[in-house]
Structure 1
Amino acid sequence: MAPTRTRSLLPLLLALATVLMSGPGDAQISIFPKEAFLQRGTSLQVNCSTSCNQTFTLGLETKLPKTELASGHNWKLFELTDIEEDSRPLCFENCGTIQASASAYVTVYSFPESVELDPLPSWQPVGKNLTLRCQVHGGVPRAQLTAVLLRGEVELSRQPVTGNPRDLTEITVTVLASRDDHQANFSCRTELDLRRQGVALFQNISESRQLQTFELPVTLPKLDTPVILEVGTQHLVLCSLQGLFPASEAQVHLEVGGQRLNPTTTGSRDLVSATAPLEVTAELEGTQQLRCVVELAEQTLEAQETLSIYSFPAPTLTLSEPEVSEGGPVTVKCEAHGRSLVVMLTSAPAGPRSREIQLTLNASSRLPSPEIQFTLNASAEDHKRRFFCSAALKVAGQVLYKNLTMELHVLYGPRLDESDCLGNWTWPERSQQTLKCQAWGNPFPKLTCIRETDGALLPIGLVKTVKREMNGTYMCHAVNSQGNVTRAVFLTVLYHHQNNLVIIILVTLAAILVPMATAIYLYNRQRKIKIYKLQKAQEETAMKLKTQATPP
């Protein structure tokens, strides 16, 4: 800042007193201050003084606006205003016939009027050179002015700012863009270092600009979906791309036949994937293009897949009589729809005639046709026979099949075969046996086994203890709505006759021998007791005699 008038008078008067102390022959002119360093646009007070003791004139020569503030016998004080550039004010005098002058150096400093970093690219490819350009306008002295290009707080380059301060000066630095530079802030800072002049270090920084870097792979997106689709089905379409950065900012578009799908997109560091449900409608039938477009950094990568969309109604399998009585005719008909054809009509085994029927059916369907049919006379062996109808459709070089099955029900009377109900049973008495007798028929027949002599029932299917009373001939009778059948069953129970005389003798012997054994036992017990008592008496007598014979 320029000194005030009050503050400058005292040093100027001291300087003037020093000059006045010189002798008359030593006339000198001086200027104060000899050097000044001040901010552009400010003011400066300059003092001109002389030691001349003759008639003299004293003044200040300068291009700057000046005002004489005060004067004395041999000094004058001037104020220079609006100092915009460096200058050399000159104090002059005419002392008699002698002319003299003294000059000062006025240096101005100013901050840059603008410091701006050029806009960065919208997206910068990873691995490519990026040139940062800093525009500096103004700022003096240039010898003390430096431009610093920054990435965040890290210095990338430090360069002096040269050239005419009235012109725009460009400072550049080239860096190699990397993934780490994504969303990094770049800026430009100027430093006006006036610390050697006793002032300070002044800094001015531009508005920061954020960089976005990207990297695209050389591969195309990958589509994962069936290429053959049936009308009326739903599928999940998946599109993914590996190796792009930043994947989280990529956009994925999916469309089929020009219709946009609604994908759900997820992205990690270098993988983006999108899934979308696809409902296959009749409007899409035919050949359609599935497109996946990945957009990142104003770049696109596209993959396409050809879809074959078809309509394939299931064939129709009909039986003229789904339930028929034994011996009745049944017509089996297999019919295809749309562009499909019947390629097979067969029957699954249901008895000894199954092989013959299957051969006949195959013979009638050697060539694909829209319709195949066959007629048979139903037998009991055809009950629950399964018929198989197969239709085929060729789509995009592949043959697709749809199948249908039906089961025939034949009503027939009861059957009681030897294998299911044995005619002769021979069981040991008191053994555990299961009485097995199975009747067959449709509807399932009711079975009862009754003894001819007394009408007793044989418990069929239960585990029983065989008794001799079960012995006899039984008539097993099976009946349903289609008829009845009877089969004779002979049950023989094996058992042994018992000898009553032996039992009587054994009982008599037991009645005699048990009392005798008891009497013998009691006699021997009494005898042992008497012998024991006699021994004890003898021992006591001997003890008394021994005591009497011993002297006192």
Structure 2
Amino acid sequence: MRPSALLPALCALCALAAGRHAEPPVPSPSPHPAGRLQASFEVSIEPAAPVVEHGGSIRLTCRTTCPDPAAKGNLETSIRKHNFQSGPGETSVELINVTEWHSRVLCFYTCAGVRTTVWADLVAYRALEQPVLEPVPWMEEGESRNVTCWVPAVAPVRNLSVTLGWGAETLHTETFEHDARLGPHRVLVTHGITARRRHHGQNVTCQAELSLEPHGPHLSSDAVPAALAVYEFPADPELDPEIHLEVNETANVTCAIRTFFPEAHFTLSLDEQPLPASVSEDGRRAVAELSLPQPGAFRLLCAGRVGPKERRAQATVHVYSFPEPQLHVSTASLAAGEEVTVQCALPAGHSSPLRVRVRVRGGGGRPPTRWDPSPLRWTLVAREEDDGAELTCEAAVPDAGKAPKTSAPVRLAVAYGPRMDEAGCPRRQNWTEGQEVTLRCSARGNPLPRVQCAQHGRPFPVAEPQTAARAHAGTYLCRAANRLGETERVVEVLVDYYDPPVLLAVLVVVAVLVAAILAGTGYGIYYRKKKIREYKLQEKQRQLEMQPLAGRSPEAAAPNGSVPAAGP
């Protein structure tokens, strides 16, 4: 036997002597392939790369090409085995309850005194358990997070591959071909994703594959998919921070969310008591009805939830008692320059946020007073323009967006002396002779002044229809008076009239007469010439008729062009 073949045989015997569970030594390199003795015979193991499930059994066969029927061979391993009846050139064993994750099996044969061995690596695998995909929590739009999948107790790890995906898209595939661990190990795979709205509702998947091909099975298992949920909720709900209501007044309060995905849920409460609310069709607004019987300040809370995120907005609801305001005026009739005292007040028991003010409508257009607590006292110095103005007392909560309540108005009567101006009594008035006109002159004042006008000391009616005449032109003195005084104004009246020119009329008459004479003369001449021509024609005809018939030609006998009839 050659030394290169003898050394592995001795090592194998030493290993078997040390114990059945010792790992067989690796044979030293030989210049010839394993299982050959000077190419006289070969030794082989089937299967060449045995694979068995952990705890299972596998049948191995050691074969030789030795032609000697007396050749002896066997399989040696640290695993408990059961021998089968051997035949020429073949030995079979069954390895029972394989629990070693990696072991080596020795096959040897002795042929003609020569011993040849081969080795086979026995790999045990563990049935692939279902991988576990960790739940993916809600993700905010644009948020990045790791997806994690783990495979429990897999062996051998180097034959494992794990694929993460979502929808029809593959996110990541990880392999472990460089993992040298023999026993089962838990394998963890992670991959980062960034959430977008389009990903909402897509399934994240995890598939584990244990490939022992071509000598063993190809195992595959899928984790339970995890649905990806994406949300967007960038801003708090919108709610008016201050809400003002009168006792027992019914009003709607609105809570709105402008931007959200996929859907928003609203909760409204008043002092921690839930309020029934209706949500708009587009899901952006929740509306609740409020009506409170007692005054006070109440906390209104609107909570909006989108996905896992909740945002809140709160407001204060001010409920107030709002009686009608009352107005007291020291006097409503006074003279210009006198003072009037005005009091604007609310009855006892009104709510503290209420404020009052005095408003003046008409007259000189005074601005309202500022909002002040009740009672409000104000002094007004009467002017002529205030005559007829109305005073009212208004009550409201300023800047609450609600119309104020108003008391009954008080009208001022301001007395003042007569006033005449261009609008009521123009200084210059133009009339036209023959037209119906009136002298326009009126005066302002309280009491209403009496107006009288006169021309050269003679009274002239005012505002009465007159037929304009040239005598009305001139200057009028108009005087207005009441119990507080009098005033005067000078008015000038101009009367327009029309006199037709006499010379022009005479020229027109003469022209007409001359035209008539010329026309008559012309006609007379024409008539005389016509009569003369007629007379001459008649005389010629008479002379022709008196001539003898024999001496006349036929044409002469027929002066009118007719030919006399022929005789018999």
TM-score computed with the length of structure 1 as normaliser: 0.50
- Which structure has the highest helix share of the two? 1
TM-score computed with the length of structure 2 as normaliser: 0.49
